[in-house]
Amino acid sequence: MEKPIIIAGPCVIESMEVLEVVADKLVQLREQYGLDIIFKSSFDKANRTSISSYRGPGLEKGMQMLADIKEKYRLRILTDIHESYQAPIAGEIADVLQIPAFLCRQTDLLVAAARTGRIVNIKKAQFLSGMDMQYPVQKVRESGNDKVWLTERGNMYGYNNLVVDFRNIADMHHFSNTVIMDCTHSVQRPGAAGGKTGGNREFVPSMALAAKAFGADGYFFEVHPDPDNALSDGPNMLQLDDLSDVIAKILA
C-alpha cells in the first residue's frame, strides 16, 4: 500500500517566520515517516467572512515567500487561486493549484488552472455531492490536463455547521485516482464566531481516521505553531506539534 500524501501548512501567509517554523517541522516529519509532504499556505484569503479580516500579503509578495520556502526546504508547494489571472503566476512556483470549494464550478478558473500544467486540486463545494464533481474534473481534463485531485471538506448542514458524508470519498474515486480529505476545514463552523469562522479542532484526528476507512489517498491539515492567535481559521487549525501524532495514527 502506498503511503498517503500529506498537505499541511498555515491557512494564510502571516510572516516568513511562521512559514519557516512550519516548514522546518514538515521536513522533520517527512524524514521521520518517509512521506510526501506538500507545504500549503494562501497568499490571499479572498473568501473571509468579514471585509475587515486579514487576507494575506497578496499575489506577488506571497508567491515570492512561497518560492523561498520551496527553495530552502525542498518542499512541494500548494496554494489556492481565486481568479483566472492568478493561475499562470502562481503556477510558476506552486506544484499544486487549489480551487476553493465555493469556486469549484467556475469554468474560467478551472480552465486557467488546467492550462498551467500543474496538478489541479479541486475542493468539493459545500453544496455539491461527490458524484457532482465529475463536471469540474471534466472541465480540467477537456482543457488538456489530466492531473486532477479532488478534496472532501464537508457539506452545509443548517446554519453555521458542516457535516461530512464519507461516502463522497468513494464517489469521487470514480473521477480521480487521488482523493484528499480536508481534515481541518471539515470541522469548521462557518461564520459562527462573530464575523469569523469558528471550528472544533479536537475532531481533526477522527476526521482523518474516518477518511482512511473510506479509502482516502491523502490528508489536508492546516497547522500553526499558535493556532489560538492565528490570523485566519485558528479554531479549526491543528496545533503544529500535534501533527506528528495524527500522522502516526493514520499510518498505524
Question: 53 and 195 in contact (C-beta within 8 Å)?
Answer: yes
The whole-number average pLDDT for the span 128-145 is 98
Mean pLDDT score across all residues of the chain: 93
**Weakest mean pLDDT among 43-47, 151-155, 158-162:** 158-162
Task: Give pLDDT, residue 191.
Answer: 60
Phi, psi of 25, deg, nearest 5: -65, -40
Q: Does domain 5-251 have CATH number 3.40.50.10490?
A: no
Model confidence at 179: pLDDT above 80: yes
Which tens digits make up the pLDDT trace of 18-61? 999 999 999 999 999 999 999 999 999 887 677 878 888 999 99
Average pLDDT over residues 88-109: 98
pLDDT given for residue 192 in this prediction: 47
Q: pTM value?
A: 0.93
Tell me the average pLDDT across 219-245: 91
- Residue 1: which pLDDT band, with cuts at 50, 70 and 90? low
pLDDT band (50, 70, 90) for residue 178: very high
Mean pLDDT along residues 162-170? 95
Residues 6+ apart with CB under 8 A from 24: 73
Contact 239, 224 (CB under 8 A): yes
> What is the 3-state secondary structure of the chain?
CCCCEEEEECCECCCHHHHHHHHHHHHHHHHHHCCEEEEECECCCCCCCCCCCCCCCCHHHHHHHHHHHHHHHCCEEEEECCCCCHHHHHHCCCCEEEECHHHCCCHHHHHHHHHCCCEEEEECCCCCCCHHHHHHHHHHHCCCCCCEEEEECCEECCCCCEECCCHHHHHHCCCCCCEEEECCHHHEECCCCCCCCEECHHHHHHHHHHHHHCCCCEEEEEEECCHHHCCCCHHHCEEHHHHHHHHHHHHC
Residue 156 clears pLDDT 50, i.e. is over it: yes
Report d(CA 245, CA 180) in Å as an integer. 19
| Residue 158 pLDDT greater than 80, yes or no | no
User: Which has more pLDDT, 10 or 198?
Assistant: 10
C-alpha–C-alpha distance, residues 1 and 77, integer Å: 24
Strand pairing report for 5-9 and 162-163: unpaired
pLDDT interval class at 157 (50, 70, 90): confident
pLDDT band at 64 (very low <50, low <70, confident <90, very high): very high
What's the pLDDT tens digit per position in 120-130? 999 999 999 99
Query: Which is it for strands 76-80 and 198-199: parallel, antiparallel or unpaired?
Result: unpaired
